[in-house]
A and B are shown apart, each in its own frame.
Chain A
Amino acid sequence: MSEVKMQKVETKRPRMAVEIAGLKLKNPVMPASGTFGYGEEYAPYLDLNQLGAIVTKGLSLKPKAGNNTPRICETVSGMLNAIGLQNVGVDAFITHKMPFLEQINAPVIVNFFGNTQEEYAEVAARLDDVPGVAGLEMNISCPNVKHGGIVFGTEAVAAHEVVSLVRKQTSKPLIVKLTPNVTDIRVTARAVEDAGADAISLINTLTGMAVDVKTRKPRLANTIGGLSGPAIRPIAVRLVHQVVQEVSVPVIGIGGISRAVDALEFLIVGAKAVQVGTANFVDPNAMATIIDGLENFCQNEGIEDINELVGTLEV
């Protein structure tokens, strides 16, 4: 028998790293705000170091109580929530939650919100000094209490104003998170880009409602809540598709992602990265499975770098 030299087949793993607004992520997968607490809640189930980034629960200037219960309700392939943005407040976050997050080998993106322009600006200013904070994600799906409760993100002018103001307060990468509850999302996307957003993430939840037919009461104490989960994915993909054509800043896709194929849809329409929300509740290991799945997909398709996939939609 002739000697056959065993050649080690070098299977080259695809490059998974992406860059968004100067943030270097080892892969394009991160949690969606409000579904991953402050990171530590999921540490027993998932190695947080493997995530592209960590995105915190939305923070406000002062601690926020949130809504009455019931705050959640399951719907067909989705859920409604009206948590009411309960959070510990920016100062407690910096003292009590940041030390844990600083140990994680992944950029920390802090989600924040306000009910006035000034509040937004002040939270951004406080976070600007915190070294462990890699970037900010600004949730503009909040009512402006000084303007009859109109949601900042539903009016291009209001969105432009508040993002411009925040832009002046921070040198950190600023991601603006859009609400889908608008007539034409391209208008708000353009407005926030023009106001200085370094990146755009979408979608936040779609407003929805469910009724208990026996008691004839709304299922949520707040009556109306935000719909998330697999049920919203086609809408989210469509909105991301529309936004990437409109803006030149990078886009992060969110909405109903629970498997690698779901994430791929967003990348193909043009998102540079994705956030996983409700799926974390169903499977605490969901993001790890998605990261593996993305890598395997690239490998099988002969894609050397995941960035090659972004925006490859054939129409």
Chain B
Amino acid sequence: MKNYKTIILSNQEIAPGYCRMRILAPGYHKMASPGQFIMFRVQRSLPPLLRRPFGIFRIGCLPADCDGMPDKEYIEIIYKVVGSGTEIMQELHEGDRIELLGPLGRGFELGDPDEEKILVGGGIGLVPLFMLAEKLVETSRVRLLMGGRSREDIIAVTEFERLGVETYVSTEDGSLGEEGLVTQVLQRKLEKYPRASVFACGPMPMIDAVQKICAANKTPLQVSLEALMACGVGACLGCVVKGAGHSDAEPRYLCTCKHGPVFRAEQLDWNRLENQAADCGGCK
């Protein structure tokens, strides 16, 4: 965990409204694990005031230059332009100086290599699943169910396929892949592979539906959540979710930034999570 002053190596639109940014990040290979995130300081002046949280898509390394420059370790993030901060990020260029706090939070537990792995994601929810897939394919069979409202929400398909992940695409409007909800596909896959474990990240209604299916099938599930964050380190208590067994008399709040963003399903209070999701102006 560090706060870096660093530079942008590249920043490009990859699909309408989605950009990919490569940031110089020495040491991340050793430090970061799949599912962790960073807090990005958009610019040194104000506004925007607070840092923005983003998942790590992947970590890479540019080989040493012939002119003696050492290896350049970098991270990539993929972000959707949704508001004031991401609008400014979209305008940033190679060489621009930025600040990066991370890697933060708890990532995914990789689980038993012999088990089937099913990843479920949509839109920017696919971001943390990439680094996870990279790790999981080393030992396990990995299937990825990508879902979204329409084809714009399906990103990085070829990259996942290149890893050797079997991908299944579904969109609600049928503009890409099968027409319908990703959870229908999940239901079918779990019937076929009952011993699989599931990893999910995406909009709250999707996560919620995934949880219901996994609970009914007694399938182990890990989810990555989003929350409004100010500090990213467990100090402000702005990002809390209710943990299993929470009550007003015995509060069991968990910080999304510190105890998460990845949680095992059984750590959370799902009844209340549904209500919170409806409140969260931020959740897309």
Q: Which residues of A contact B (CB under 8 A)?
A: 34-37, 41-42, 44-45, 57, 63-66, 68-74, 76-79, 81, 83, 86, 212, 215, 217, 219, 221, 229-230, 278, 280-285
Contacts and interface: CB of A to CB of B under 8 A. Distances in A.
A81 B49 contact: no
Contacts of B233: 37, 41-42, 44-45, 284
B41 A283 contact: yes
Given A37-B234, A69-B279, A74 B253 contact: no
A76 B46 CA distance: 9
Contact of A71 (B2, B99, B240): B240
A284 B228 contact: no
Interface string B24-51: 0000000000000000010000111111
B17 to A, nearest CB: 18
Contacts of B99: 283
B227 A69 contact: yes
Contacts of A69: 227-228, 239-241, 276, 279-280
Given A41-B234, A281-B231, A281-B236, A66 B50 contact: no
Nearest to B251: A65
Q: Which of B3, B227, B229, B236 has the most chain A CB atoms inside 10 A of its CB?
A: B236
A66 B237 contact: yes
B51 A212 contact: no
Contacts of A65: 248, 251, 253
B1 A45 contact: yes
Interface string B51-72: 1000000000000000000000
Contacts of B232: 281
A66 B47 CA distance: 28
A72 B236 contact: yes
B49 A86 contact: no
Given A79-B49, A86-B251, A35 B280 contact: no
Interface string B240-284: 110000001001010000100000000000000000100111100
Interface string B183-198: 0000000000000000
Given A66-B253, A81-B238, A285-B3, A76 B230 contact: no
Contacts of B227: 69
B154 interface: no
A63 B251 contact: yes
- Main DSSP-derived SS at the A contact region: loop
Nearest to B50: A74
Q: Which of B41, B101, B228, B241 has the most chain A CB atoms inside 10 A of its CB?
A: B228
A70 B280 contact: yes
A290 to B, nearest CB: 15
A225 to B, nearest CB: 10
- Main DSSP-derived SS at the B contact region: loop
A44 B1 contact: yes
A281 B230 contact: yes
B236 A35 contact: yes
A-B residue pairs, 3 tightest by C-beta: A65-B251, A72-B238, A37-B235
Contacts of A221: 279
Interface string B64-106: 0000000000000000000000000000000000010100000
B275 to A, nearest CB: 8
26 contacts: A34-B237, A41-B231, A41-B258, A45-B1, A45-B233, A63-B251, A64-B251, A65-B253, A70-B228, A70-B279, A70-B280, A71-B228, A71-B237, A72-B238, A79-B49, A79-B230, A81-B238, A83-B237, A86-B240, A215-B281, A281-B232, A282-B49, A282-B50, A283-B99, A284-B101, A284-B233
A278 to B, nearest CB: 7
Contact of A45 (B3, B236, B239, B280): B3
Q: Which of A37, A69, A83, A281 has the most chain B CB atoms inside 10 A of its CB?
A: A69
A77 B46 contact: yes
Nearest to B1: A44
Given A45-B233, A57-B237, 10 more contacts: A45-B1, A45-B2, A74-B47, A76-B47, A77-B46, A78-B49, A81-B236, A83-B238, A278-B49, A282-B49
B235 A280 contact: yes
A85 to B, nearest CB: 9
B273 to A, nearest CB: 10
A233 to B, nearest CB: 12
A30 to B, nearest CB: 14
